[in-house]
Structure 1
Amino acid sequence: MTAPGRTTATSARGRSIAVLAALVGGALALIGSTQTWLTASVAEAVLPVSGAEAVSVLRPLALAALALSLVLAIVGLALRYVLAAVAIAVGGAISWLSLNVALAPSASAASSVVTEHTGIAGDAAIADLVQGIALTPWPATTAAAGMVVVAAGVWTFATAHRWKRSGRKYEKGGSRAGRDEAAPLDAIDSWDDLSRGDDPTR
């Protein structure tokens, strides 16, 4: 028989792991969008291409993962499963698009930068202009970040039914009387208490 305090600690840990994984994966993907993914050699110039320039939807996807991590901490059971599916889709898209650049870099990934530098547009014309492409580690790093977001979604699917329901510990205007006093607090519980004006150390 599992003790109530241990069950509460396990559920809090499951929620914290999912939120933290989505947050870290989204933050790393967002950082990756600002870094140089590759350099394209055009005539006498070497043009750096950032993640957001190589994959135009990378930054919105990373921001979606960050937003998802914040919402995941407070929603009810049904929405946890919805957000888990969204996390898998968003993380999978980040990884897939990043791996396409990491494994098969092409002139098209630098098209926006080359067009800005030369005024020439069109995939065929840009392919003729680009003399060489050199990769950095960031496409692979960002692909790994996407997999962390996917893992957060899978973990949520596996553990969401054991998470403590948001707001369950509050009764009669937000008191903490409804919570097992012996149950340990996690970081999200403490933040909730502070936002309600309660002292989480009592």
Structure 2
Amino acid sequence: MRRARSTAVLAMLLAGAIGVIASTQTWIEVTLDDGAQQTLAVPGADALPVLTPLSLAALALGAALSIVGPVMRYVFGALGLLIAAFMGVGTVQMIVATPVAATAATVTEATGISGTDAVASLVTDMSLTPWPVVTLLAQIVLAAAAAFTLATAHRWTSGASRKYRTAAEAGGDAGRPHDAIDSWDDLSRGDDPTA
């Protein structure tokens, strides 16, 4: 089941990386009624403030999933589902409704005018870029990877513990003659290599 672990890890890393990249890209283009019909670009981090931290958390989950034991696999799978659900709901709201509040920070920075009602009175047009949809697809990938982790984690081999098993436990070197390196290993374990 090494391939299952690799698939889950890579999918989580991919979803987290796309989320981090999306947080720096323009999500909404806002046109203001300020006489000059100024157009502002609202990045993903301003439109959905939880995007960057939760995407970084998804990256960390993916990286840590490659080395954790059986119990933590389930914990990380559940956390991945929660992150995907939380960001997915926020992204869907952005796609469906495009709230003026998502543009407030950028508009306030550009104009000095704050407050949702005041910002709403300045905004004449808002248009979405493809990045919210790309982010939503990444969250679907994250949710699928987390669900896959929960479904298959009990069958994953423990790579770290297998790496450090002795040849006798592994059973693969039973027919190989005992050499000088094996004698040093015996001595290191406290066994008498001359016996």
For normalisation by structure 1, the TM-score amounts to: 0.79
Change (3 A) 1:94 1:177: farther
Identify the residue that residue 107 of structure 1 maps to in structure 2.
Answer: 100
Structure 1 match to 2:22: 32
Question: Which residues of 2 match residues 1-202 of structure 1 at below 5 A?
Answer: 11-42=1-32, 43=34, 44-171=37-164, 179=170
Secondary structure of 2:114's counterpart equals coil
Alpha carbons of structure 1 residues 46 and 164: separation in structure 2 relative to 1, 3 Å: same
Asked if structure 2 preserves the Cα contact closer than 8 Å seen for 1:37 and 1:138, the reply is yes
Aligned residues: 170
Which string of whole-angstrom CA distances, capped at 9 and with x for unpartnered residues, describes residues 156-198 of structure 1? 01100000124221336xx6775575xxxxxxxxxxxxxxxxx
Gaps of 5+ in 1: 1-10, 182-202
TM-score, length-scaled by structure 2: 0.82
Q: Distance in 2 between matches of 1:119 and 1:176?
A: 70
1:186 corresponds to which residue?
A: none
The AA in structure 1 aligned to 2:99 is S
Identity, % of aligned pairs? Answer: 41
Question: Amino acid of the residue matched to residue 139 of structure 1?
Answer: P
Contact 1:18 1:153 in 2 (8 A): yes
> How far, CA to CA, are the matches of 2:68 and 2:152 in structure 1?
14
Greater gyration radius: 2
